[in-house]
Amino acid sequence: MLALRKIELESLLKEKHLFPNFSSFSSDFQEKLGTSLPALNDLLSGGLPRGQISEITGPISSGKSSLLYSVLAQATRQREVVACVDCNQFDPWSAYRSGLDLKKLLWVRCSQSYQLLKAADILCNAGNFGVIALDMINLKRAGLYGPDVWFRLQRIVEGTKTVLLVLSVHPQARTASRLTLSLKKKDLYWEGRQSTWKLLQGFSMEVNCARGKRDMTKVLVSRQSRKTA
């Protein structure tokens, strides 16, 4: 009886384009894109939800781009095609060292902020991209675009296998997003001594699931390797 009521209610909601079906809210039934980081997979109960908007937020140098490259790399390892829309700050060398197959990456370099969402809209409509990363770190304030814009994008990706990943300093998609990861830099690792000569080795970041699953924090370590002859 309860199941019938649920189906009835779902169909009514779907007719009005109000909400996705209930099953999409249940993380147990949600298809996920697993990351290569066990700690993050624990935090996200398997990975980033497909067919939804996810956000990675945090101040500059908190590890957002590092995490993004890792997610993109894992998607290309699974032979998925990924896209990145940004304002020409993407570093192909960092992405390559993360393991990203650059041949499977479509990079769209925007010069104006309005182009970011328009390009994301075009890519979401194309379908079959494993991950579409929308880098809005350059936008200085939160909620620059109205919720209608984000709900429109959410509707486009809903039901697809695409993870729409938004990077920003402040949350942008807010209620339209299924998941918000908040990042914070913790410790820096140096090699060598300050008095003589030292090099930056990496830093650890604290990942907090601010939306989707509360009160869980994990620490990830980010390392760098320089080009040497």
Partner 1 sequence: MQRYGAVYFHAQVGSSGPLESQELALQIAGDFSPWVEQAGMNLVVMDLSGLSRQWPDEKVLARTIVQKFQDKNLLAQIAISSNRATARLVASGTAGTSIILPGQEKEFLAPLPLALLEAPLEIGEVFDRWGLRTLGDLANLPEKALAQRLDEKGMELYRQACGEDATPLLPHTPIETFEVFYAFDWPLENSESLAFTLNHLLDRLCRRLDSRSLVAEAVSLSMNLADGSENARHIRFGFPLNDAATILSLVRLDLEARPPQAAIESLLLRLYPAPPRPVQFSLVEPPMIPPEKLARTLARLCALVGDQNVGSPALLDTYRPDAFEMRPFDLNPPQRLHRRGGRQTNLPLRNAECGMRNKENRFTLNGNNSSLIPHSAFPIPQSEVVMALRIFRPSLQARVKIERVRPVSLESPVASGNIIECGGPWRTSGEWWKKDQRWAWDEWDVLLNNGQLYRLYRDLSTEQWFVFGAYD
**Helices 113-126 & 147-157 angle (0-180, nearest 10):** 20
Looking at beta carbons only, is 142 or 199 nearer to partner 1?
199
Of 51, 52, 64, 132, the residue at the interface with partner 1 (CB under 8 A) is 64
Of 34, 61, 149, 174, the residue at the interface with partner 1 (CB under 8 A) is 61
Looking at beta carbons only, is 23 or 89 nearer to partner 1?
89
Binding of residue 94 to partner 1 (CB under 8 A) = yes
Looking at beta carbons only, is 10 or 202 nearer to partner 1?
202
- Cα angle for residues 145, 150, 154 (degrees, 5° grid): 170
Specify the length of the chain in residues: 229
Of 30, 52, 65, 180, the residue at the interface with partner 1 (CB under 8 A) is 65
User: By the 8 A CB rule, do 74 and 68 touch?
Assistant: no
**Pairing between strand 82-86 and 198-211?**
unpaired
User: By the 8 A CB rule, do 47 and 32 touch?
Assistant: yes
Site for partner 1 in 186-225 (CB under 8 A): 188, 190-192, 194, 197-200, 202-203, 205, 220-225
3-state SS track over 98-130: HCCCHHHEEEEECCCHHHHHHHHHHHHHHCCCC
Looking at beta carbons only, is 174 or 186 nearer to partner 1?
186
Q: How far is the CB of 222 from partner 1 (least distance, A)?
A: 4
d(CA 6, CA 51): 22
Binding mask 146-175 for partner 1 (x = CB under 8 A): ---------------x--------------
Of 30, 52, 54, 98, the residue at the interface with partner 1 (CB under 8 A) is 98
User: By the 8 A CB rule, do 186 and 203 touch?
Assistant: yes
Q: How far is the CB of 157 from partner 1 (least distance, A)?
A: 15
Binding of residue 229 to partner 1 (CB under 8 A) = yes
